[in-house]
Every structure is written in C-alpha cells, then in structure tokens.
Structure 1
C-alpha cells in the first residue's frame, strides 16, 4: 500500500502559493456574475426569468473552472461574459419588438384560478405538484378557493392572488392538507361539496355518487365558506 501523500491530497501538484491565485480567480468570477446581474437590472434571483437563469448557468459554468484550474486562462472567461451580455441585450431587444418571440422565450401568464375555482384547461400546463401549489396558496393566506377572485402564475413561476372582499367570498374547495380535507366518492351527508379536481361547487345529497359535470372527476370534499381574517 502506497504511503499517503498529504500534499497531493490537499493541493495535488500545485504549490501552496497557488491558493493566492485561486483567491484572485474566484474574485474575478464572482465579479463577472455580479456585474451581469447589475447590468441586466435585476435586484434578486426571484426576478430572473427562465431565459436569464439559462444565461447565469452558462456564465457560471464558464467561470467555475477558471477559479481552481491553473491551466484555464482568465481572458476567455471575460470574452464569454462579453458575448453572453451582447446576446442578452440582443435577445431582450428582439423580445421587446416581438410579442411572439417574447412569449416563446419567457412563456405567458397563466390564469389558474378564476371566480373561486380552477381554470381546468390550464391545470395540466403547470409543472408543479399539487401539494407544492396548495402550500403556496396557504402561505399567501388562502384557506379555500372561494376566497380567491383571480390567481395568476407569472412567467417567473411566482403566484399572484387577488382576493374577494369578505362579503363577496363564495363556497370553495379547501386548500388545506389532506388530513384536514376529507375526500369522498360517496357523499356522507347533505351539503355543498367541491370537486377536488377543478373546484366546482354544488349541493349534493347523502348517498350521491356523482361525476363532476365540468371535469368528469368523482372525488368531492366539503366546500368551505370561511372568510379571511
């Protein structure tokens, strides 16, 4: 068994003075990404569109190797930054002059909730789990869909909710976790129920087994009418 080489384990064939070069390389890579964010006019990661995330990932990949590989020169990374910035400016200019291109690159705002129920045609367009989506609704202060007049999924994936006034709240599908939202295919007692798929509400009688007239699903939960506090 070969003797353990601590120097090779820690820094391979480089001298320890290379660590000072690493500091400079990291500073340059950090500055390049930071300058791009400043020039693009964004103040936070949550404001980045999908297109801008791709740009940042590409820049990060280019600048990552230069931070700790001594055989990777710095100037090509600077050139990558300049070219990406020019491409970014060109693409944003083209998007501002072409709504079709803007929609193709960044997508479109999706109306997910309208007048207290889901827009069924848009449910399958979203790449998000039901539990994650319901969590976002709860974090925004919603207990059921009947409190929400309009719910939009923005192009950056953020959720925008517009609530009814308390006096205008309608019965709606609960957004609480499953343990607080019993579901039924056989209605246990008379009341107003909400379809667990689309949120359509209607009065049902004990013993009913009904497919939703809007989406065709047959799972129901008791509709809530609570107001926001």
Structure 2
C-alpha cells in the first residue's frame, strides 16, 4: 500500500461517481429519519423519552451504514424503519394500558428539591451531580434554593420548577458559581449556613468548623434569603 495516496485517502476503492450515489443514499436515509420523527410527533431530543431516543439511535445506525457503504443494500433499511415504526406504535399502546411498563421504559419523575432543600438521596439515584443540577436551575433563573417549593426532574430530562411566593421564600443555598460566592471551612460569624454540597441549613457559631451532618462536606456558604427578580 502506498502511503499518502490521495485517491485511496479520498475514495478508497470506489470510483468518483460513487459520490453521487452517496448523495442519493443520504437523501434516502434523511427522508426515513424525518418520517419517523413526524410519526413520533417530537420536536427535539430533550422532549424524547429514553425509549424514543433508543429507537432514533437504532434507526440512525442503520441509516448511517446505508448512506456511506456501497455494499449495504437500501431495502433492508426500509424494513428496519417499518419495524421500528410498528414497534413504537405497539409500545406506546402497551404503555397506555400498563403503568408498570411505562415506568420501566420511561422512568418516573424524580423530586430533586423539596421545600427549599435538595432531596439528596434522590439526586444521587438520578445519576446527576449537584453541580449539573445547579446549572439547570440557574438557567431557570434560580439564585438560591429557598426560592423553590419543588423541582422535579421529568422523564424526558427537563426540570419543572415550582416557586414560593416572595413572602414565603426560605433561607437557602446560593447556587451561583463558586467564583460568585464565598465559601468557608471555618465560619467567620454566627449565622445560618448552607452546606454547599447537599444544601442542608444549620446555625453555626463564629469560628466553628464542622463537617455537614448530612453529607460530611466541610465547606459552607451563608444561607441566602434573596427573592426572585421577575
């Protein structure tokens, strides 16, 4: 084999006019995936359940092969498309008649914040770090957890937020980036402090240094009572 052979690097063993066939195959697979998305009635991946994402990935794998490889026939991909479309319709029907199957394939909503504090154990079971979750909350305009009555991670990965009224806002953990908040291992004054990891609120004395009783984290920040600006 000759090194730096531009023809081999660009086309391997196929002729130049095979690029036209690639364009046709790509159009074919694009139409199949587009039709499947129309069948599911979804507008974006974040709106899809785990089962629907799995279906799309399976179809995408088959579509990718037929688009680029000259020895992959096109009709089997159509069969894959028809099979997955039928499977999708069948599973949707079964889930509408079986709550257990729906929970198995799509999961259940998970309460992540309850009454201004992280539901720490549930957050861990959702395979999400508190820092990832805080980023999602900041995108929703949340500055500190005491502003939230409930935050629920839905089965499609989106987060539903339910706020306290301004006169009901509690003291809570500030969830701004570390560069925007002061953190302490030894607290400077007597006040309410929030564990920066699990958000538990404790009244600590000036000069006190202790691990969080809830998660054993050593760092604290002053609890905030900031209200939402709408």
Q: TM-score of the superposition, structure 2-length normalised? A: 0.91
> 1:110 maps to what in 2?
110
Q: Is the alpha carbon distance of 1:187 and 1:7 closer, same or farther for their aligned partners in structure 2, counting shifts above 3 Å?
A: closer
Give, in angstroms, the shift of residue 134 of structure 1: 1.4
User: Cα 1:71–1:195, aligned 2, differ >3 Å: closer, same or farther?
Assistant: same
Structure 1 CA distance, aligned partners of 2:176 and 2:129?
15
Q: Which runs of 5+ in 2 are unaligned?
A: none
1:184 is paired with a residue whose SS is coil
Displacement, 1:179?
A: 2.4
In structure 1, list runs of 5 or more residues that go unmatched. none
Structure 1 position 137, deviation (Å): 1.2
Q: For residue 120 of structure 2, what is the aligned residue in structure 1?
A: 120
Residue 101 of structure 1 corresponds to 101
Residue 7 of structure 1 corresponds to which residue in structure 2?
7
Aligned match of 1:25: 25
Give 1:55 shift: 0.7
Task: Give the superposition deviation at 1:4.
Answer: 5.6
Report the equivalent of 2:167: 167
* Aligned equivalent of 1:187: 187
Distance in 2 between residues matched to 1:60 and 1:207, nearest whole Å: 59
Q: Which runs of 4+ in 1 moved over 6 A?
A: none
Post-superposition shift, 1:217?
A: 4.5
TM-score (structure 1 length as normaliser) = 0.91
- Whether contact under 8 Å (2:183, 2:219) holds in the other structure is yes
Q: 1:23 to 1:192 in 2, by over 3 A?
A: same
Task: Identify the range of structure 1 (210-219 vs 11-20) with the bigger mean alpha-carbon deviation.
Answer: 210-219
Q: 1:130 to 1:119 in 2, by over 3 A?
A: closer
Q: Determine the structure 1 residue equivalent to 2:219.
A: 219
Q: Distance in 1 between matches of 2:120 and 2:73?
A: 53
Question: Size of the alignment, in residue pairs?
Answer: 229
Over residues 105-159 of structure 1, what are the superposed CA-to-partner deviations in whole Å (9 max), with x where a residue is unaligned? 1111000001111112212112223332211111111110011111011111111
Match of 1:50 in 2: 50
Alignment RMSD, CA only? 2.0
Judging changes above 3 Å, is the alpha-carbon distance between structure 1 residues 35 and 158 closer, same or farther for their aligned structure 2 residues?
Answer: same
